[in-house]
Amino acid sequence: MSTLLQQKCPNCGGSVSFDTGAQKLKCPFCDSEFDVEAAAGHRTPDGAAAAVDNISWESDTSEWTTDETTGMRVYMCNSCSGEVVADETTGATSCPYCGSPVVMKGQFDGALRPHLVIPFKLDKEAAKKAFKQHMTGKKFVARAFKDDNKIDEIKGVYVPHWLFSCQAEGQVSFVAEKTTKRWSDADNNYTEITEYDCYRSGNMIFDNVPVDGSTKMPDDLMESLEPFNVNEAVPFNVGYLSGYLADKFDVDATSSMPRANDRIRQSIADNLKKTVDGYDSVTTIQSNMTVLGGDYKYALYPVWLLTIKHKDKDHVFAMNGQTGKFVGNIPTDTKKVKTVGALIGAGIGVALWAVLNLIGLI
Amino acid sequence: MKKIITTLLVAVFALSFMLIPASADDFNTLDPTGLLTEDEMFALEQLAVDIEEQYGYFAMICFAENTDGYETILDFGHDLYDSFSDKKYAVIFVDDLSQSLCDFFVSENYEEYVFTHDVTTAIFNAYNEAETYYLGAVAFYNGVASALENAGIAASEETTAAEEITDAAAGTQDTTEAPEETTEFVKTERLLPLVVDNADILTDEEEAYFLERCQAFTDEYKCEIAIVTITDLEGKTAQEYADDFYDYNGYGYGENKDGLLCLYLDGEERQRNATLTTSGTAQMNIGDDEIEDILLAIAGSAKFGEFKDAFDWYIDLSEEAVKPVPPLFWLLICLAVGMVIGLIITNSMASKNYSVHKKETAADYVREGTLMITGRNDIFRNTRVNVTPKPKSNSGKSSDSNGSTHTSSSGRSHGGGSISF
């Protein structure tokens, strides 16, 4: 069990870190800066615990068996150094992340064996259809993204995820305000505002909060694909990998925990904040969290990936292989946005001028 | 005793005969000294009859040889009224030829509303400038007709002129409740020149110069600009005087009465004040800040007696304020507004191209119904009072135009300001 001491931002409740340049604590969420001593002296309401998180995560791990890895091959991308796993019958010719050719590195010698896998429910045709649907109606799309030829390069990839489950208890301090009186005299309006220190604690159970375990897969892209339905996950069997690529995790569970903690903490804070009612405004001052019975699992999530290179940059589109949710930022032709905007604007401007002239305002 | 009574009766008869010719019974123009020809008398009589028929008003002009026996010319006029008119409402102009003095007698004291000081001054001036007595009399009758016309007076069977005046006068006294009732009194055509130097602070050359400048300004911007100097506010505030002078003398260009007037008071005991009143487009274009700048500029020169500079500043700064913005400027403004709207539209359309967003919470993974509140504590911390100054509002003013506005006694909306120095 490990204990993590975190200082909270008094403005937004986010975790602050020490900025060596400014020699101050800095909040990465709201850019507030605090003196270390001042932040340490920030008042805590009676009954509120200090801003100390008490978090522990545990897991039962298992290893791959020799039988399982015999038919598995590891391919490496010389461009982005990404490694993917495929069975010997599937093979791999290009990297699902950057589209560059891959070379076989050798036989797979996996370390941790996934606990769960959510099998692909949607095939490649569904993914291609979803991509076309995704592009429909979009304006100012760069020409390269209108090329249907790229669609065939869409690949099914099992993306490694760490799934964190726990009962989490949160203690959150708020400052709440409400207007208690209003009056006026000849010169001024007066508003009496009463402030309260509010404290809430409570617990919630979280099931399978996912954190992407691959550095090659953008975290925000994977989170945009959520939610996956873990109830449909099955115990891992190498047979599910047949016909698909699989990524090996390169972000371990310990490195993934802070992200899970942040999301869980924010959820608790949000839910506890909703119980601070009857006030005009509520501001979170600090929060801390205790994780009880936290465990994590290693799982593979099914994702259809399409990478399109445009202006030396990889643009990744992804579809949830289970639910069909399709995401991906479509590069926008900013020149076209400005040009069309200017033309529309000129039309509006001239029409406005004509109308104002007509009604005699100018 | 008999002798005394007889002498008195003869004297009274003789006096009456001398002052009020018997032939005047049929004429509204009394000419005991024979200044007018018969034709002229008939022509003038027609004017008087027209006034009586059209406005229900008795108008009379009398060229009296003298008004001896009367304390004032007004008393003489009152006697004429009692002798000749069965009308309740009358205006009688008396020229005492022996003293070269003229005055008005106006019945029922309605001069305040119809025959104002400005109206009677205009008639006096027109009478004095006339080359003959006949033309002077014509000017008098025309002036009376014009005043009654502008005041909206009309003879009718149902309502007498006096009743109309009474109603309107009541409205004038309560302009805030029913200002529209009194707007009838406002002149539709300007009666006075653009420069009225009653305080006589301008030389004739300066007066001509400003008259030319004001006229040029008016012609170019379709907005009248006027300069008025006075020595007495006649019991009014400077702003009231300026507003009334503007309204009741028919200042203002076009139907909207677009224009502005600078009233300069050169009163006793160095009482000096400059007041602006604005109307129509001038009211819209000249805001409070501009009015303050103009007044400060006027005061800055006028307090040193530099009246030419003061009124030059007044015209120059007013020109800056009312000068229309070039049409191209508005086109550019419209284009700029259009561009902003156009870019907002296209950026809004382009924003739909982005669907990747980080998730901040784990809300999707909360097991339903597991939220349990284990601690709840609300503690009073402190109370503070926020003080917000009330918006300053000047009494009777609103700010629905470029600057503050107020309503004059005529019921019209004006802008303006005043400075004493």
Winning range, highest mean pLDDT, from A48-52, A150-154, B331-335: B331-335
Q: Radius of gyration of chain B from Cα atoms?
A: 33
Per-residue pLDDT band for B89 (boundaries 50, 70, 90) equals confident
Is the model more confident about B81 or about A20? B81
Winning range, highest mean pLDDT, from A229-238, A341-350, B128-137: A341-350
- Is there a contact between B355 and A328 if contact means CB atoms under 8 Å apart? yes
Rounded to two decimals, the ipTM of the complex is 0.75
Phi, psi torsion values for A164, nearest 5 degrees:
-105, 130
Read off the pLDDT of each residue in B250-272 and give the average, rounded to a whole number: 87
Residue A251 contacts residue A214 (beta carbons within 8 Å): yes
pTM exceeding 0.90? no
Residue A6 contacts residue A28 (beta carbons within 8 Å): no
DSSP secondary structure code for residue A90 in this structure: T
Say whether pLDDT at B26 is over 60: yes
B195-324+404-420 matches B17-185 in CATH topology: yes
pLDDT over 90, % of chain A: 34
Say whether pLDDT at B23 is over 80: no
Kindly report, residue by residue over B150-201, the tens digit of the pLDDT. 777 766 543 444 444 444 444 333 333 333 334 444 556 777 889 999 888 9
Structure tokens given for A243? 């016909």
**Best B325, B331, B334 residue to mutate vs chain A (most A CBs within 10 Å):** B334
Residue B323 CB neighbour total at 10 angstroms: 11
pLDDT of B216 reads 92
pLDDT of B285 reads 85
Residue spans per domain, chain A = 1-42, 59-331, 334-362
Read off the pLDDT of each residue in A130-138 and give the average, rounded to a whole number: 84
pLDDT of A1 reads 32
DSSP secondary structure code for residue B402 in this structure: S
Q: Does B364 touch chain A (CB under 8 A)?
A: yes
- Is there a contact between A189 and B390 if contact means CB atoms under 8 Å apart? yes
A310 contacts in chain B (CB < 8 Å): none
Read off the pLDDT of each residue in B17-29 and give the average, rounded to a whole number: 53
Please tell me which residue of chain A has the smallest CA distance to B358: A220
Question: Nearest-CA distance from B384 to chain A in Å?
Answer: 5
Read off the pLDDT of each residue in B223-244 and give the average, rounded to a whole number: 90
- Is there a contact between B372 and A203 if contact means CB atoms under 8 Å apart? yes
pLDDT of B32 reads 85
Average pLDDT, chain B: 79
pLDDT of A91 reads 59
Per-residue pLDDT band for B21 (boundaries 50, 70, 90) equals very low
Structure tokens given for B259? 């224009």
Q: What beta strand segments (E) does chain A contain?
A: 4-5, 17-19, 24-26, 33-34, 52-53, 57-58, 72-77, 83-87, 102-107, 116-117, 155-184, 188-212, 234-235, 245-247, 281-310, 313-320, 326-327
Please tell me which residue of chain B has the smallest CA distance to A176: B378
Per-residue pLDDT band for B375 (boundaries 50, 70, 90) equals very high
Is the model more confident about A221 or about A42? A221
Is the model more confident about B4 or about A295? A295
Average pLDDT, chain A: 81
Say whether pLDDT at B256 is over 90: no
Say whether pLDDT at A151 is over 80: no
- Is there a contact between A345 and B342 if contact means CB atoms under 8 Å apart? yes
Per-residue pLDDT band for A166 (boundaries 50, 70, 90) equals very high
Kindly report, residue by residue over A192-244, the tens digit of the pLDDT. 999 999 999 999 999 999 999 988 888 899 999 999 999 999 888 877 877 78
- Angstrom distance (rounded) from CA B404 to CA B393: 9
Question: Nearest-CA distance from A194 to chain B in Å?
Answer: 4
Please tell me which residue of chain A has the smallest CA distance to B340: A345
Q: What Å distances lie between residue A202 and A11, A243, B253, CA to CA?
A: 21, 46, 76
Instruction: State which H helix or E strand residue B183 sits in.
Output: none
Q: What Å distances lie between residue B349 and A310, A332, B76, B352, CA to CA?
A: 21, 10, 88, 6
pLDDT of B176 reads 35
Q: Which of A161-175, A199-213, A242-256 has the lowest mean pLDDT?
A: A242-256
pLDDT of A273 reads 94
pLDDT of B170 reads 41
SS3 sequence, A282-315?
A: EEEEEEEEEEEEEEEEEEEEEEEEEEEEECCEEE
> Does domain B195-324+404-420 bear CATH number 3.40.50.880?
no
pLDDT of A299 reads 92
Q: Which of A134, A187, A220 minimises the CB distance to B390?
A: A187
- Is there a contact between A340 and B360 if contact means CB atoms under 8 Å apart? no
Say whether pLDDT at A146 is over 90: no
Read off the pLDDT of each residue in B119-124 and give the average, rounded to a whole number: 84
Q: What Å distances lie between residue B227 and B249, B346, B409, CA to CA?
A: 13, 55, 20
B352 contacts in chain A (CB < 8 Å): 137-139
Read off the pLDDT of each residue in B115-131 and give the average, rounded to a whole number: 83
Residues 6+ apart with CB under 8 A from A135: A141, A145, A146, A330
Say whether pLDDT at B220 is over 60: yes
Residue spans per domain, chain B = 17-185, 195-324+404-420
pLDDT of B182 reads 40
Say whether pLDDT at A316 is over 60: yes
Q: Are strands A24-26 and A33-34 parallel, antiparallel or unpaired?
A: antiparallel
pLDDT of B188 reads 62
Q: Does B363 touch chain A (CB under 8 A)?
A: yes
pLDDT of B342 reads 93
Question: Nearest-CA distance from A261 to chain B in Å?
Answer: 9
pLDDT of B255 reads 82
Q: Which of A180, A190, A345 minimises the CB distance to B341?
A: A345
Is the model more confident about A80 or about B169? A80
Say whether pLDDT at B78 is over 70: yes
pLDDT over 90, % of chain B: 22
**Closest-CA residue to A182 (of A193, A173, A174, A191):** A191
pLDDT over 70, % of chain B: 81
Per-residue pLDDT band for A25 (boundaries 50, 70, 90) equals low
> Does domain B17-185 bear CATH number 3.10.310.50?
yes
B380 contacts in chain A (CB < 8 Å): 194-196
